[in-house]
Amino acid sequence: MSKYSFTFLILTIVLFSQCSTSTPDPATFNQPLTFEQAEYAIVIHGGAGTILKKNMTDDKEQQYMKALNDALDIGERILKNGGSSMDAVEQTIQSMENSPLFNAGKGAVFTNAGTNELDASFMEGKNLNAGAVGGVSTIKNPITAARAVMEKSDHVFLSGRGAETFAQDQSIEIVDPTYFYTQRRWDFLQQIKAEDANEQDITPDKKHGTVGCVALDKNGNLAAGTSTGGMTNKRWNRIGDSPIIGAGTYANNATCGVSCTGHGEYFIRYAVAHDISAMMEYKGVTVEEAGDFVINNKLVKAKGTGGAICLDRYGNVAMPFNTEGMYRGYAKPNKREVSIYKE
Amino acid sequence: MSKYSFTFLILTIVLFSQCSTSTPDPATFNQPLTFEQAEYAIVIHGGAGTILKKNMTDDKEQQYMKALNDALDIGERILKNGGSSMDAVEQTIQSMENSPLFNAGKGAVFTNAGTNELDASFMEGKNLNAGAVGGVSTIKNPITAARAVMEKSDHVFLSGRGAETFAQDQSIEIVDPTYFYTQRRWDFLQQIKAEDANEQDITPDKKHGTVGCVALDKNGNLAAGTSTGGMTNKRWNRIGDSPIIGAGTYANNATCGVSCTGHGEYFIRYAVAHDISAMMEYKGVTVEEAGDFVINNKLVKAKGTGGAICLDRYGNVAMPFNTEGMYRGYAKPNKREVSIYKE
């Protein structure tokens, strides 16, 4: 080998080694065991809480089951046709936001002032890009605004009037605040106010509700999103976990995607969505083990009620919750499950 | 041993084992090696960025060194006298908020609209209680409002006008928005606007700045807090990492307390404060190793500029940053260090 060939070889090795370390890979040192790879997968929730069969009419139950199946249909069609997990998450959540059944979008609950303040967040597992909006009152589909913050701004989290101005600039559909009026949620606000005034003991999870979706596409990319109307009778422009990356939503191709629902304050304090991802990353446990430990051990000890949907890059689904029920479902090739109550 | 004594012994063992598992302890399964226990410790930062000796006058440098030492004095006095880490964090940060030198409180930078929108968060390591305010314009010391949200409300995160109303109800000092006017920050907004208009390449970290504090008291309790004026020329009610539990601030007696500063969007996406804590919890590494890996490996790969101050329950301090400098310092019994530049 001549002196020049040797120099060239060394240079090539040096350059190649620099290339291989310059690719950002947020978390690769502790991978779970290899599982069978699902071609695609999608998982959704429509809120967790005191959801008991004895309090549900057959008609209501069917409405929820249909809305959950419709939402899964939308996302699954996109994934089956080779679409991105981001499109699947956005459009699946849009369909749940447009339903009056769930506490998000059209069905958002009312604040103490009788207004609606909506929150949403969105995250891409490939590069940890993220976007969120908090306290918006005129954006028809907050999840779309959250995705736009991620893709069209230098920021992650925009709030209030500023977020609405940004959404309008992006030609995202703006509605009159009265769009979010539903009689059922209005009546519920009056009931909660009366109970609060009488200092009655209200099950905290009665006030909450959220929708969320995590998807894995044929390119192996995860995405996650969460959208909510927040907490009935909330005051002081309270922000819950749903628009907070790490609390209500997280996605990392190296670990999993997560969307949470429940008593938001606990999900913020325990950074639940990121904690599930971090436990997989640093302990090398499975998505089922991580989800179960955080929701059914840590949160239960803290008395934090709620649940999460989790999906790893192999398409393994976990839907842990520590409440009576959680509206939930998932779809993979030739497999679908939709359920409401604890089995 | 009689049959009754044996039954009693078994009962005692069963009861005792139940007692020991019923105490909520968020994270105890992977503890770092035992270190020498410091009686107390406090660590602060005043922002990270392109801070170079060649751009600093002697006078300016002395002003910063004095402000950092004054802040440490306040916190150390409280800790030395047996006060709580929460009081130390709050009063230390107050002193930095009241200084025009730092981008927090009095010295807050201006938004694109020429207003000031301040954020802060606070966390208690004993029970993972937390509080935060975002986008407030009339609260003199946002750190005090953040602590009040934690202690006096059922919520973690209040924003905008609602947070201000809450603070007023709690008799927290309210000021006219003009209180936050400083000529230096106003001139800087005009300069940034001109540079933005000319599409000049602005070092992103020039726009940022934050103050933060983590303390360990004689009872072994950690507390952490962060306060900021956000990002110069920010629009759309952008919220950064400082008021976000898990991103800008985290504290857990079982692991460490953390306060971050830097390009907030990256700190949200990487859930930096919680990630440092999670790495200690799940991998059993030291606070130095966790802080260094997240700031100087993960964030550097992602091109996220900034730093963090970290303190574990033994009083071990880590102050990693990946920028040219970070205003920082710490104090323990018979030990103090204050510095600005990279050594």
Nearest C-alpha of chain A: how many angstroms from B158?
A: 4
CA–CA gap between residue A237 and residue A262 (Å, rounded): 18
B245 with A268: Cβ contact below 8 A: yes
Burial class (CB in 10 A: 0-12, 13-18, 19+), B335: exposed
Instruction: Among A129, A158, A279, select the one facing B238 at the smallest CB separation.
Output: A158
A158 with B130: Cβ contact below 8 A: no
DSSP A37: P
Size of chain A, expressed as the number of residues it contains: 343
Burial class (CB in 10 A: 0-12, 13-18, 19+), B259: buried
Domain count, chain A: 1
Instruction: Among B237, B269, B298, select the one facing A156 at the smallest CB separation.
Output: B269
DSSP A219-260: TS-EEEEEEE---TT--TTEE-STTSBTTTEEE-TTSEEEEE
- Residue A120: its H or E element: strand A118-124
In a domain, A96, yes or no: yes
> Hey, of B228, B239, B252, which one would you mutate to test binding to chain A, going by the most A CBs within 10 A of its CB?
B239
A245 with B245: Cβ contact below 8 A: no
Residue B4: pLDDT band (50, 70, 90) is low
Active site residue B21: no
> Rounded to the nearest 5°, which phi and psi values hold at B124?
-110, 125
**Is residue B275 less than 8 Å (CB to CB) from chain A?**
yes
**Is residue A20 less than 8 Å (CB to CB) from chain B?**
no
The one catalytic residue in B92, B111, B138, B210 is B210
In a domain, A251, yes or no: yes
Instruction: Among B162, B264, B302, select the one facing A235 at the smallest CB separation.
Output: B162
**Is residue B155 less than 8 Å (CB to CB) from chain A?**
yes
Cα A236 to Cα A140, A188, B141, B166: the distances in Å are: 22, 19, 18, 6
ipTM: 0.89
**Is residue A163 less than 8 Å (CB to CB) from chain B?**
yes
**Model-level pTM?**
0.90
C-alpha B32: how far from its chain's center? 22
**Is residue B26 less than 8 Å (CB to CB) from chain A?**
yes
| Cα torsion B282, B286, B291, B294: sign | negative
Instruction: Among A154, A275, A281, select the one facing B265 at the smallest CB separation.
Output: A154
Q: b/e string for A63-82 if b means 16 or more Cβ within 10 A?
A: ebeebbbebbebbbebbeee
**Is residue B177 less than 8 Å (CB to CB) from chain A?**
no
CA–CA gap between residue A3 and residue A106 (Å, rounded): 72
- Report helix, strand or coil for B245: strand
Q: A143 and A135 in contact (C-beta within 8 Å)?
A: no
| Cα torsion B312, B318, B323, B325: sign | positive
> Domain residues for B221?
41-341
A155 with B279: Cβ contact below 8 A: no
Q: Is the pLDDT of residue B20 over 90?
A: no
**Is residue B163 less than 8 Å (CB to CB) from chain A?**
yes
CATH number, residue A51: 3.60.20.30
Strand order in the sheet with A256-262: A249-251, A256-262, A306-312, A317-318
B135 with A235: Cβ contact below 8 A: no
In a domain, B21, yes or no: no
pLDDT tens column, B134-183: 999 999 999 999 999 999 999 999 999 999 999 999 999 999 999 999 99
Burial class (CB in 10 A: 0-12, 13-18, 19+), A183: exposed
**Is residue B284 less than 8 Å (CB to CB) from chain A?**
no
Instruction: Among A239, A264, A274, select the one facing B246 at the smallest CB separation.
Output: A274
Q: Is the pLDDT of residue B330 over 50?
A: yes
pLDDT tens column, B33-88: 556 899 999 999 999 988 888 888 999 999 999 999 999 999 999 999 999 999 99
A26 with B268: Cβ contact below 8 A: no
In a domain, B18, yes or no: no
In a domain, A323, yes or no: yes
| Cα torsion A24, A26, A28, A31: sign | negative
> Rounded to the nearest 5°, which phi and psi values hold at B190?
-65, -40
Cα A333 to Cα A46, A328, B52: the distances in Å are: 22, 18, 57
Residues of chain B with Cβ-Cβ distance to A129 below 8 Å are: 269
> Hey, of A237, A272, A283, which one would you mutate to test binding to chain B, going by the most B CBs within 10 A of its CB?
A237
| Packing angle, helices B272-283 and A272-283, rounded to 10 | 40
- Report helix, strand or coil for B126: coil
How many beta carbons lie within 10 A of that of residue B232, not counting itself?
23
In a domain, B268, yes or no: yes
CA–CA gap between residue A300 and residue A265 (Å, rounded): 14
DSSP A139: B
A24 with B301: Cβ contact below 8 A: yes
CA–CA gap between residue A227 and residue A62 (Å, rounded): 23
Give the pLDDT of chain A (343 residues) as one tens digit per residue. Answer: 455 555 554 544 444 443 333 333 444 444 445 568 999 999 999 999 888 888 889 999 999 999 999 999 999 999 999 999 999 999 999 999 999 999 999 999 999 999 999 999 999 999 999 999 999 999 999 999 999 999 999 999 999 999 999 999 999 999 999 999 999 999 999 998 988 777 665 565 667 789 999 999 999 999 999 999 988 999 999 999 999 999 999 999 999 999 999 999 999 999 999 999 999 999 999 999 999 999 999 999 999 999 999 999 999 999 999 999 999 999 999 999 999 999 7
In a domain, B22, yes or no: no
A268 with B166: Cβ contact below 8 A: no
Least confident of A261-265, A334-338, B12-16, B281-285: B12-16
In a domain, B227, yes or no: yes
CA–CA gap between residue A171 and residue A166 (Å, rounded): 9
Q: Given this model, what pLDDT does residue A204 score?
A: 58
Q: Given this model, what pLDDT does residue A26 score?
A: 41
The one catalytic residue in A92, A111, A144, A210 is A210
> Rounded to the nearest 5°, which phi and psi values hold at A316?
-75, 130
CA–CA gap between residue A192 and residue A202 (Å, rounded): 8
**Residue numbers of B between 197 and 216 with CB closer than 8 Å to A:** none
Q: B118 and B96 in contact (C-beta within 8 Å)?
A: no
Which residue, A89, A124, A314, is CA-closest to A220?
A314
> Hey, of B282, B295, B297, which one would you mutate to test binding to chain A, going by the most A CBs within 10 A of its CB?
B282
DSSP A163-213: HHHHHHHTT--B--GGGG--HHHHHHHHHHHHHHHTT----GGGG---EEE
Burial class (CB in 10 A: 0-12, 13-18, 19+), B303: exposed
Residues of chain B with Cβ-Cβ distance to A246 below 8 Å are: 244, 246-247, 268, 271, 274
Q: Given this model, what pLDDT does residue B208 score?
A: 77
